[in-house]
Amino acid sequence: MALPHGVSETDFTHALDRFRTAVGDEWVFSSDEDVALYRDAYSIYWDEPEERVASAAVAPATVEEVQAVVRAANELGIPLYPISTGRNLAYGGSAPMYSGSVVLDLKRMNRVLDVDERNAWALVEPGVSYFDLYNHIQERGLDLWIDPPDPGWGSVIGNALDGGGGWTAYPFRDHFGAHCGMEVVLGDGEIVRTGMGAAPGAKTWQENKWGYGPWVDGLFRQGNMGVVTKMGFWLMPRPEALITGRATVASDDGVVGLIDTLNLLENQQMVNGSTQLNSGGSGGFGSPGWSLDVPIYGPVNVIREQLAYARSKFEQIDGCTFSESELIMTQGPGEDAPPGVRLVNFGVPNLSTFSLLGRSPFQPNPAGGHIGFSPILPRRGEELIRFRDWYRANSAEASQGEDLGIIGPVFMTNWERSLVGLIMFPVAKDAGYNSRIRAAFERWVELAAAEGWVEYRAPTVYQDLVAQTYSYNDNALKRMQEKIKDAVDPNGILAAGRYGVWPKHLRDA
Ligand SMILES: Cc1cc2nc3c(=O)[nH]c(=O)nc-3n(C[C@H](O)[C@H](O)[C@H](O)COP(=O)(O)OP(=O)(O)OC[C@H]3O[C@@H](n4cnc5c(N)ncnc54)[C@H](O)[C@@H]3O)c2cc1C
């Protein structure tokens, strides 16, 4: 058992007893066998001394139990690491950022508390997965869509709190952006409700995001200021249909117009689907040029007009060709998604993404996992070409001349008004290989930051490194985050170090 740093065995044993009193003996896990289940299967330090590991885990079933656990931890100085379903693969899994923390596992809190069809929102607990919410909506026959990320087994709350996103229409696919109202247990066990939830008689907790006064919800996104025990989300009323257009240009010259036109159409809210940009034009990888898929969700007559408008804009680009796919009617409640579609684009959670990374005739020896490097880039064609050329020019040096199987860059347009230049780094259960991947990853963070390209999300082991790239004015933002951390969690027990914010007593260590 890995004791939390600086905690005596007596205090730790006492804390586990207090947790048992709070949640029941069977929901406190301290055997090596049980605690090993909280290891990060994609750890880039697998089986090495630096691997982040928990000391124990505790799984409350109610908010009162969460409060009791947090109060005991606060009194005894035990670091806690809250997770919802803990399936944060590629970003740390269910292992804590600070080794020795006790994982506060919230997956037993799995009630869908409310879904309102008339104004399209849901209120859920942390253990509710995308599958759970989807099934609840199906069972009640509601004409609403959820927005799943690729793996449907994750938590609606956990994914949003880590800055995750999905694949249907904007604004629903920005999961934190689509939330409305939270309930949070702070480091001393006090419960706070944000937005309209702070007004005892208000009936609009899930309908008005802002409430009154300074908005604090952002402190809990990629944060460590509290344990989120409830969260509201706006859902999409099922769109009638989906139609997709494809704009293609034959060379790099056309990409500036392609991206400017995409920006115009998205900013006008003419295109709302998760667009996809591929190099290789219509001729596949290896050919010059670019293609851009623009999916549009909505009522049949409206989206036909929107697509015609999109065509008229893309055809103004020199040499751009535009084609339309068949219009696909969406499935109603209780119906299967149309055949052959990518399910997440139709609001249906599933796990098919893992087949891409698993063993197959094309991939006889899969690495076994990956971590993502996801710098945010300006949405301009010139910058995209610059990033691609920069990546090519530096690849050999960053990988020290070796082919490490790094995949990328894939340009993702999930977020409004910016691009993600995603690069995927394979992870293996081989310390030698992992150390070479680490050296390459760290080099890319450094090289990209020098160009002003910094990441929006990072695996736990790199959260400090990436936080250092947000250093404007002598790290003023981080210093402010630390002041807030010290005020709301003075004993620094919650998710120490998450996204680079450490409590006072660990800051200089
Ligand atoms: C093949 C593959 C494809 C993927 N595709 C996507 C994708 O399409 N979109 C995407 O967003 N991600 C994707 N991921 C990344 C990741 O697996 C998902 O984001 C996943 O949903 C995160 O796990 P979770 O939902 O169980 O969250 P959790 O692991 O429960 O939570 C994530 C983190 O948030 C914090 N947290 C969670 N709950 C709480 C709480 N209640 N209070 C305070 N803090 C909390 C913790 O620090 C925790 O570590 C992919 C990963 C893989 C391997």
pLDDT tens readout for residues 119-143: 999 999 999 999 999 999 999 999 9
Which of 2-6, 118-122, 164-168, 245-249 shows the lowest per-residue confidence on average (mean pLDDT)? 2-6
Q: Provide the CATH number for the domain around residue 279.
A: 3.30.70.3450
Domain that includes residue 50, residue range: 9-105
- Looking at the structure, do residues 387 and 404 belong to the same domain, yes or no? yes
Beta strands in 427-466 (DSSP E): none
Is 65 in contact with 87 (CB distance < 8 Å)?
Answer: no
- Looking at the structure, do residues 221 and 116 belong to the same domain, yes or no? yes
> Which pLDDT value is given to residue 285?
61
Ligand 1 mutation pick, 40, 58, 161, max ligand atoms within 8 A of CB: 161
- Looking at the structure, do residues 80 and 125 belong to the same domain, yes or no? no
pLDDT confidence bin for 509, thresholds 50/70/90: confident
- Looking at the structure, do residues 319 and 375 belong to the same domain, yes or no? no
| Per-residue pLDDT at 345 exceeds 70 | yes
- Looking at the structure, do residues 207 and 122 belong to the same domain, yes or no? yes
Q: What is the pTM of this model?
A: 0.97
Q: What is the mean pLDDT of residues 353-377?
A: 84
Q: How close is the Cα of 159 to the center of ligand 1, in Å? A: 4
Q: How close is the Cα of 254 to the center of ligand 1, in Å? A: 36
Q: How close is the Cα of 173 to the center of ligand 1, in Å? A: 14
Reference 482, options 471, 490, 493, 474; nearest CA is 490
Classify 316 in phi/psi space as left (phi over 0), alpha (psi -120 to 50) or beta. alpha
Residue count of the chain, please give it. Answer: 509
> Which pLDDT value is given to residue 141?
98
> Beta strands 276-279 and 290-298: pairing type?
antiparallel
Q: How many domains are contained in the chain?
A: 5
Q: How close is the Cα of 178 to the center of ligand 1, in Å? A: 16
Q: What is the pLDDT of residues 302-328, one digit of tens each?
A: 999 999 999 999 999 999 999 999 999
Is 196 in contact with 107 (CB distance < 8 Å)?
Answer: no
Is there a domain that residue 226 lies in? yes
- Looking at the structure, do residues 153 and 219 belong to the same domain, yes or no? yes
Looking at residue 429, its amino acid is K
What is the C-alpha separation between 488 and 211, in angstroms, rounded? 20
pLDDT confidence bin for 364, thresholds 50/70/90: confident
Domain ends where: 63, 80, 105? 105
Cα distances (angstroms) measured from residue 506 to each of 77, 125, 294, 314, 501: 12, 31, 47, 54, 10
Residue nearest to atom 23 of ligand 1 (CA): 88
Q: What is the pLDDT of residues 184-237, one digit of tens each?
A: 999 999 999 999 999 999 999 999 999 999 999 999 999 999 999 999 999 999
Burial class (CB in 10 A: 0-12, 13-18, 19+), 255: buried
Reference 463, options 387, 369, 373, 391; nearest CA is 373
Verify cis geometry, omega within 30 degrees of 0, for the bond prior to 375.
no
- Looking at the structure, do residues 116 and 233 belong to the same domain, yes or no? yes
Q: Which residues line ligand 1 (CB under 6 A)?
A: 82-92, 94, 106, 126, 149-151, 154-155, 157-159, 161-162, 164-165, 227-228, 353-354, 357, 495, 498
Q: Provide the CATH number for the domain around residue 125.
A: 3.30.465.10
Domain ends where: 39, 71, 105? 105
- Looking at the structure, do residues 57 and 117 belong to the same domain, yes or no? no
Q: What is the mean pLDDT of residues 281-290?
A: 69
> Which pLDDT value is given to residue 508?
80
- Looking at the structure, do residues 416 and 483 belong to the same domain, yes or no? no
Is there a domain that residue 355 lies in? no
Is there a domain that residue 3 lies in? no
Residue 67 Cα to chain centre, angstroms: 26
Q: Provide the CATH number for the domain around residue 70.
A: 3.30.43.10
Is there a domain that residue 354 lies in? no
Q: How close is the Cα of 219 to the center of ligand 1, in Å? A: 17
